Structures are given as structure tokens and as C-alpha cells.
Structure 1
Amino acid sequence: MPAARPLDPGTLLGPVWIVSPHPDDEVLGCAALIAALTDLGREVHALLITDGGLSHPNSRAYPHAHLTHTRLAEWRTGLEVMGVPEERTAALNLPDGMLEEVDPAQIQHRVRQAFAAAPPATLVLPWRRDPHPDHRATWRPVWEAAPPSARRLEYAVWLPERGDADAWPTTQEVRTWTLDTGAARLRKAQAIAAHVTQMGGIPDDPDGFTLAPQMVERALSGPELYFESLNQPVLNALEAT
């Protein structure tokens, strides 16, 4: 992995859009950044791509419609903890676990519609090779839906736990940034805890998904990890100043 530098949230211009393939990706991968940006008074918006409805497919207490409704509410609660109000959130409700089967042009069109109200000056989206198929399927349509002038940061979710050598970026691809969780650790913990369904809160589906305690602790201890393409015009302009 390329040598990392500390990220200064104050260098990121608003509006800032945080894109999550699933409810909870943003609290695991970039909650400290979101909290820092809202504390600075930046205009932060959040976009959810899938409905999160595949995490507990065998639960009778949480059939699909109830699960997706609950997970959307958990997502908004976690964002509220970090300072993002509900009116600055949008959800596309695309099928969880099947994003690769959705036409990328359709995803891009719907993302562009969401961005239209407040075109992003900064876009924070999952790392292009993060080890989850929905994360990878999210990357290109979202990247291409943003204005060319937007600065783009890619955050890691599953990369530290599941990424093989080919998943990690090279020194020729990106600049690597890190952000300590620091004073945001408590708020990040509260935001993660808002996702009750993913923290063992659905006991009638023992094969359903539960966040591993080790992953939660790594997310809380930090640092958060961000990658910025070396071919990005905004980064090149920053280098020239």
C-alpha cells in the first residue's frame, strides 16, 4: 500500500456526498470524517444504493419489507448521530446482493438525479476494489455520475479484513490518506450501535449477517483509510499549488 498522509477534513469542499452501498458502510468506513465535516459546518449529504434486505433472508420476525424499512431507519439514525439530517439523505433501494445484475447506466442515471439538488464538490465513495461485489458495482456508476470537477475520495470497508494483494491499491494508482478516529470515536460507536439488526439484533436467523466484534473494534480504533486517484484532475491541481 502507498505510504499514507494524514487527511485534513478542512481541505474538503462542500457539498460533500457520502455514498454507501449498504446501510452501515459509511459508519464503518468514514464516520469520523463525516463527524469532522459536519462539525466544520460543511454541507454533507448521504446516498444509500441498496435496500440492505439480504442480511437476514430467513427471519420471520423481519420479512424483507420490514427489514429494509428498519435498516433504512437505522442508517438515518446513524447519520443523525454524525450530524447529517434526514432531509440530506436519499436512498435508491436497489436490490442488496444483486447490484451486479442492475444496468450500470440505470444506477448512474439515478445517482445523477440524487446529486442534482446539490452537486458534489467532494464525493466520498467505496474503494473501487473493496471486497464486496455490491461495493465494486457501486464504484463506476457513482464515479461517473459526479461532476468532473468533484474531488473524489474512496474509503475502505472490507479491505483490511478481506482484501487480497490484488484488491489493495498500488503506488501508481492513488495517494493514501488516513484519519484518526480520535475525538469522534464515541460518536462513531453510537452510530455503529444504531445498526441493531447488524449487531445480533435478529436472533431468529442464526445464519444471518452479524458484524464481527473484531471488525467493529478495528473501525473504532482506526485510522480510517482513504484513497485518491493520482489521475484525478482535482488532485493534480492541488499538487500544482
Structure 2
Amino acid sequence: MKTNLIVGAGTSLDHWSDSQRLAMLPEIQLSDLVPEGARAVIIAPHPDDEILGSGGLLQMIGASGRSLLLISVTDGTASHPGSTRWPAQQLGALRVQESEEALRRLGLALPEWQWLRAGFEDSQVATHEAAVAMFIEQQLRPGDVVFATWREDGHSDHDAVGRASSTAARAVGATLHELPIWTWHWARDDDARVPWARAHKINLSPSAMARKRYAASAFTSQLQEDPSTGSGPILPALALERLLRPYEIVFVQE
């Protein structure tokens, strides 16, 4: 069994802000990631991952007129176990609504055919990984450019979605790039487990950064304390700030 890497407060924001490694990462443009005529496919393990990992990229895709498909693998119903404020059934509907509002704040109003909710069980994606891979494969077509969570991100659902997306992309002839999200919690910039050689930086304009921050604030269920269980926010302020830097990192396909 893997060690749980998402414990404690995690790596300080100053560490990442002062990191020369991050400062020196090569920049990459949307046109290099998603060629003209290609479709971008964003695969999120939970509602909010599409914003936290790629809210800036989503804005660029929308502004470019490129075709886009968003897949939410789960509805995020396991984020508050035992909660009477956010019981699982109500939480699933709420988190979808939060994602809808976040996308609206980015300027994206996706019709049903452009945003697929797969309905797999939150926190159990690895158990159903083969079925997840098959579901994703059925949605992909050759030439797609897929963005999924990194397969070593440190959260079991994120890791499983990364592996399943890799399997599906290979099967259809799509390109897969990976997005680190929880990596910023447990890693440091000298961590050899992180594929720095594949890391590229997508720089965000101040306006894109502001819209991403505004979109992230839509996920109230993840940002507030839960008085019914005494638990703090799922995304405490430090975790959120680590994801709201003026760039996004993508591990490009080897």
C-alpha cells in the first residue's frame, strides 16, 4: 500500500515562490500543446480539479475557439465523510453546481455533450480503473490532446485517473499530458520523484489569474470548515494558494 503523501500542512508557499527550478522551467504555448484543429480533453477526478489544475489553460482553450471536452470522473461525494452539513447525496449535486458556477466564472458555459460526468465512486477510482479507462477510451478519438492528473500525484483517485487516461490515450492514438495538483503539497523542487524533465510552464496573464482565483472561490464546500464534524476545509488557504500561482505546470508527453 502506498504511503499517504497528503498529510500535514505540506510544503510552504515560500518554497515554491522562491524556487529557481520553477522560475527556469521552459514556457509552453497553447499552440504547442493543442495544435490547430485538435480537440482538448480535460479529465478531472473530482469537481474542482479542472479549475485547480487547468483553470488558466481552460480559458486559453475557450478563447482560441478550439474544441473542448471535459470529463468529470466522480461527483466528489466522499469529501466530507460523516458530515450532516454536506451528506454524500446532497454533496454530489452541490459539487456539480459548484463546477458549473466555476466554469461560468471562467467564461465557459459547456452544454451537456461537452461536459461528461462519468459517475464513478469518489475515492474508489483505482478499484474500477479498467472501467474508467474504457469509459475514457469511448469518448476519445485519434488526434485528441488529453490533460489528466499526473499518475503519481499522491491522491489515489488522481493517480488512477492518470493511469486510466494513459491507457485510453494509447488505445486510440491520442496525446496525453499530465497535470500535478497535490504534488505541490508533498514535493519540493529537488524531489527526484517529480518528472522535472517533462515539466513546462503555462504562464497566465493577470486577468487570467484573477478569473482562475474567482472560479476557485466557487467551491464553497471545499473551502469552508464543517461544524458537523469539526473538520477544517478540504482545501485550506495554503493548499489553495499553492495552486493559484501565475502559471500552471504540465508534464508533457515523452
Instruction: Find 1:138's aligned residue among 126, 137, 161.
Output: 161
2:134 maps to amino acid: H
Q: In structure 1, which of residues 91, 100, 113 is the aligned counterpart of residue 138 of structure 2?
A: 113
Which residues in structure 2 correspond to 1:72-151 (within 5 Å)?
Answer: 72-82=96-106, 83-87=108-112, 88-102=114-128, 104-115=129-140, 121-146=144-169, 148-151=172-175
Equivalent positions of 1:1-241 (< 5 A) are 4-11=25-32, 12-13=34-35, 14-82=38-106, 83-87=108-112, 88-102=114-128, 104-115=129-140, 121-146=144-169, 148-163=172-187, 165=191, 167-169=193-195, 171=197, 174=198, 176-182=199-205, 183-200=207-224, 202-207=226-231, 209-230=233-254
Q: Distance in 2 between matches of 1:44 and 1:201?
A: 34
Compute the TM-score of the two structures, normalised by the length of structure 1: 0.84
Task: State the percentage of identical aligned residues.
Answer: 25
Unaligned runs of 5+ in 1: 231-241
* TM superposition shift of 1:17: 0.6
- CA displacement, residues 6-50 of structure 1 (integer Å, 9 cap, x when unaligned): 110123133111011111112111110110111111111110112
Which residue is 2:8 aligned to?
none
- State the secondary structure of the residue aligned to 2:184: helix
User: How many equivalent pairs are there?
Assistant: 224
TM-score for both structures, normalised by structure 2: 0.80
Structure 2: runs of 5 or more not aligned: 1-20
Give the deviation of 1:206 after TM superposition: 2.4
Aligned partners of 2:149 and 2:158 also within 8 Å: yes
**RMSD (Å) for aligned C-alpha atoms:** 2.2
SS at match of 2:221: helix
